[in-house]
Amino acid sequence: MDELVRWLGEQLDVDAARSTAAAEELGADWYYDDGFVLARREDDMVATGSQDFLERERGEHVATHDPARVLREIDAKRQILEIHHVIGGWEDEDGQDIGLGCNECGYSAEYSDRGGWCDTVRLLALPYADRPGFREKWRP
């Protein structure tokens, strides 16, 4: 397996583990209500701000990125990775092997020079650029 996809899979695993842990006690669906982020299952408080309440914009942001949503996003990213996998066997008009390409996006010399990974896969990795192990050569 290519190191980009292996590394990205590890990041998704970390996010999934964190989201699952956050959801275990209170539930995965959160909402904002009058200064607080609450877990829908128990109506227990998940987050408050520095003055014991959250301003609407901040609270809605936290609630919008609840564990349920994060897990759905992780699932979608994994499905995109399955569709955009590297394949070989690309040939020129003379039947000569010209390198690797993306199963979904096709062949390009640029993809082949980058191990076959298309911009779609590289863009999926970009939000994790601040994490250890990210390589600048993976940027789109």
Average pLDDT over residues 117-131: 94
pLDDT tens readout for residues 15-51: 999 999 988 878 888 888 878 777 777 666 676 665 5
Domain count, the chain: 1
Instruction: Report if residue 22 sits inside a domain.
Output: yes
Instruction: Report if residue 103 sits inside a domain.
Output: yes
What confidence score (pLDDT) does residue 47 get?
Answer: 66
What confidence score (pLDDT) does residue 40 get?
Answer: 78
pLDDT bin (cut points 50, 70, 90) of residue 130 is very high
pLDDT tens readout for residues 97-111: 777 788 888 877 777
Instruction: Report if residue 21 sits inside a domain.
Output: yes
Cα–Cα distance, 140 to 123 (Å, whole number): 6
Is the model's pLDDT at 8 over the cut of 70?
Answer: yes
Cα–Cα distance, 111 to 119 (Å, whole number): 8
Instruction: Report if residue 70 sits inside a domain.
Output: yes
Q: Where are the alpha helices (DSSP H) in the chain?
A: 3-26, 56-64, 67-83, 109-113, 119-125
The parent domain of residue 71 ranges over 3-28+66-138
Cα–Cα distance, 101 to 90 (Å, whole number): 7
Find out whether 68 and 82 touch, Cβ atoms under 8 Å: no
Element (H, E) at 118: none
pLDDT tens readout for residues 72-92: 999 999 999 999 888 877 777
Instruction: Report if residue 77 sits inside a domain.
Output: yes
Instruction: Report if residue 74 sits inside a domain.
Output: yes
What value does the mean pLDDT of the chain take? Answer: 84
